[in-house]
Amino acid sequence: MSMKKLKRVLPFSLAIILASVSLPVTALADSAKVVTLGANLSDEQKASMYKYFGTSADQVDTIEVTNTDERKYMEGIATESQIGTRTYSCSYVEPTDSGGIQVKVANLTFVTSSMIASTLLTSGVENCNVVAGSPIEVSGTGALTGIMMAYEKASGKELSEDQKATATEELVTTGDLAKDLGQDTASDLINDVKESVIEDKLTDPSDIQDAISDAADKQGITLTDDQLAKITSLMESISQYDYDVKALKKTLDNLDGKSGGFFSNLWSSIKGFFGGDSSGGGIINNTDDAALGNDAIIDSTLDAVKTKANDAVNQAKEEGLWDKIVGFFKDLFGGDDTENSDNTDSTDAVEENTDNNTDTGSTDNNADNDTSTNAE
């Protein structure tokens, strides 16, 4: 694209960018920010979690989550070792009005940010920012319980008890699959099948099994009969509920980094360049990883989106577009058109010729692991 063409197109694009920078994803009206703290944390550990969350006790509502709370949803689904006897998992929840579900986790070894985001969809949540973690390494199997409790208090909306139980079943099933397949592969498999079941309204067990087989084949996975049966049972439960397909796809696309195509991701990076971080995430962006120490295990659903945006920038740089776009915006804000008019005209002429030529020519942790200490 020539500089003349760029200057004709980009003012309009700039207006769109500035408008979108000024209209970020916002917290849901009349909602609160809620923190949940594991009942077995010491006062010092609780303080470290507030610091990690980037907030304080006087700025949020706080709920204490006990092992009894976790057992309400996990008994009959998770094993005793997965449920444990003590509660250390914490969460910070901010309902939003759009953007899907974004999650960041710290020191949770059994579950990932992707697993929690997907299971929250199953529970009936559509838009929300979540930070979940612990000051020490724990499995995190009970983290979902606290998150759902926090969401209900923060949003003022009650989630279906049956859907919350199904969400817990999904978290445990995905975590168990991850032991054999790896966390990313297990999450991708469950998400692919769930999307097919909800989007295609599959309810018949044989149709659901076909969807599972297709997803497994796509990823080169061979499932055991037991794994197939557990996934089928889970998806039969999910198929009973009505979900917003657009909301589902928004979050699942976030998890895959499919927030948009090349130009969408490029615009996201441009917004970030001129207007700060545009990746969304709300409270996630205020977390203080250093509060949990240098060895904290951190995982966020925002990583995939940011990676795609960075890929778009790198591609634009390789094709010579990025410097032109950034330079154009800098000229708009601080350049002198009078001084550079002659140079600009000559540059345009050279680039017009280049375009024409191109057109005619031819890219101490052990103490807190569920399996060893019954802590989650």
> For residue range 155-188, what is the model confidence (pLDDT) as tens digits?
999 999 999 999 999 999 999 999 999 999 999 9
Q: Kindly state whether residue 375 falls inside one of the protein's structural domains.
A: no
**Pairing verdict, β 128-138 and 61-65:** unpaired
Q: Are residues 195 and 336 in the same domain?
A: no
Question: With bands split at pLDDT 50, 70 and 90, how would you rate the model's confidence at 144?
Answer: very high
Q: Kindly state whether residue 310 falls inside one of the protein's structural domains.
A: no
Average pLDDT of the residues in 296-322: 64
Check: pTM over 0.75? Answer yes or no. no
Q: Kindly state whether residue 84 falls inside one of the protein's structural domains.
A: yes
Q: Are residues 161 and 180 in the same domain?
A: yes
Count CB neighbours of 157 within 10 A.
Answer: 13
Q: Are residues 158 and 279 in the same domain?
A: yes
Domain range for 129: 31-300
Q: Kindly state whether residue 368 falls inside one of the protein's structural domains.
A: no
Question: With bands split at pLDDT 50, 70 and 90, how would you rate the model's confidence at 4?
Answer: low
What are the pLDDT digits (tens) for 287-297? 999 999 999 99
Q: Are residues 4 and 42 in the same domain?
A: no
Answer whether residue 21 shows pLDDT above 50. no
Q: Are residues 181 and 324 in the same domain?
A: no
Q: Are residues 234 and 333 in the same domain?
A: no
CB-neighbour burial class of residue 117 (10 A; exposed 0-12, middle 13-18, buried 19+): buried
Report the DSSP beta bridge partners of residue 37. Answer: 64
Question: With bands split at pLDDT 50, 70 and 90, how would you rate the model's confidence at 198?
Answer: very high
- pLDDT for the residue numbered 273: 46
Last-in-domain residue among 268, 300, 332:
300
Q: Kindly state whether residue 43 falls inside one of the protein's structural domains.
A: yes
Q: Are residues 204 and 245 in the same domain?
A: yes
Tell me the one-letter amino acid at 6: L
Q: Kindly state whether residue 287 falls inside one of the protein's structural domains.
A: yes
Q: Are residues 8 and 65 in the same domain?
A: no
Q: Are residues 327 and 204 in the same domain?
A: no
Q: Are residues 100 and 216 in the same domain?
A: yes
Q: Are residues 123 and 80 in the same domain?
A: yes
Q: How many domains does the chain have?
A: 2
Q: Are residues 161 and 296 in the same domain?
A: yes
Q: Kindly state whether residue 110 falls inside one of the protein's structural domains.
A: yes
Higher-confidence position of 279 and 134: 134
Q: Kindly state whether residue 197 falls inside one of the protein's structural domains.
A: yes
- pLDDT for the residue numbered 249: 85
Higher-confidence position of 23 and 286: 286
